[in-house]
């Protein structure tokens, strides 16, 4: 009979939990991460609020934007961007304001391109808040000067009782506002999973009709 233990102790919270509360790994003594999923997620959320974690997220979003717009990838890597951001006084000022605001999404530091028709390079980026970055992008979209940009699809946030809570210009804006990982809302929109609940809400394309609204 297999007497192998089916629980392990999380190295972070020190609580003994079943294996299904840990992420599976190909290697390791038990084939699972040393910390449980809950502690791992908490650690990732805290890291994203650090300067290094924020810069990493900025870089990943830049690469994603380049794929969506058929632009060249940034002309720098993550390490180079980190050095550049940490050398900018405005980055530190905006970061402190963001922390003091309780991590208001609109105040998070961001890298905005001076010319949205060109890719990300140090001569073409500046440190601004996410709100300022968003306003610049929408202004260029209204003026029709952004090349190869796919039109955004407006998204509505709906309560369990089918009441409209809020409207967003795109799934990316909704994901940032709700502090969600990229593609969570956009995935259920693409697959038309209108009944799937994320953070207690349904999500649908704005032009789709919703029964009971």
Per-residue pLDDT of the chain (213 residues; tens, 9 = 90+): 344 578 889 999 999 999 889 888 877 666 888 899 999 999 998 999 999 999 999 999 999 888 877 789 999 999 999 999 999 999 999 999 999 999 998 999 999 999 888 899 999 999 999 999 888 877 766 565 554 445 567 888 888 888 888 888 777 777 777 777 656 776 766 666 656 777 788 887 776 444 433
What confidence score (pLDDT) does residue 47 get? Answer: 93
What confidence score (pLDDT) does residue 122 get? Answer: 96
What confidence score (pLDDT) does residue 145 get? Answer: 56
Residue 135 C-alpha from the chain's centroid: 18
Residue with tokens 């900025």: 58
Secondary structure (3-state) at 37: helix
- The per-residue DSSP string of 80-116 comes to HHHHHHHT-HHHHHHHHHHHHTTS-GGGSEEEEESST
List all residues 6 or more positions away from 55 whose beta carbon is below 8 Å from its beta carbon: 78, 81, 82, 85, 86
What confidence score (pLDDT) does residue 208 get? Answer: 47
pTM score of the predicted model? 0.62
CB atoms within 10 A of CB 49: 14
What confidence score (pLDDT) does residue 110 get? Answer: 95
Secondary structure (3-state) at 127: strand
CB atoms within 10 A of CB 89: 8
């Amino acid at each position: 009979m297999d007497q192998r233990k089916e629980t392990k102790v999380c190295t972070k919270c020190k609580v003994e939990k079943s294996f299904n509360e840990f992420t599976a790994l190909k290697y390791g003594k038990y084939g699972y991460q040393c910390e449980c999923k809950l502690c791992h997620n908490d650690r990732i959320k805290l890291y994203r609020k650090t300067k290094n974690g924020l810069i990493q997220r900025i870089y990943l979003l830049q690469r994603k934007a380049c794929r969506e717009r058929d632009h060249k990838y940034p002309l720098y890597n993550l390490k180079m961007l980190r050095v550049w951001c940490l050398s900018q006084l405005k980055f530190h000022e905006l970061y402190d304001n963001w922390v003091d605001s309780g991590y208001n999404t609109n105040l998070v530091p961001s890298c905005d391109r001076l010319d949205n028709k060109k890719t990300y390079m140090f001569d073409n980026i500046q440190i601004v808040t996410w709100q300022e970055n968003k306003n610049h992008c929408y202004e260029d979209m209204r003026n029709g000067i952004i090349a190869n940009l796919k039109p955004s699809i407006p998204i509505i946030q709906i309560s369990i009782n089918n009441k409209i809570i809020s409207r967003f210009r795109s799934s990316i804006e909704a994901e940032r506002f709700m502090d969600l990982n990229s593609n969570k809302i956009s995935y259920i929109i693409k697959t038309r999973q209108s009944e799937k609940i994320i953070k207690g809400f349904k999500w649908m394309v704005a032009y789709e009709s919703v029964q009971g609204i």
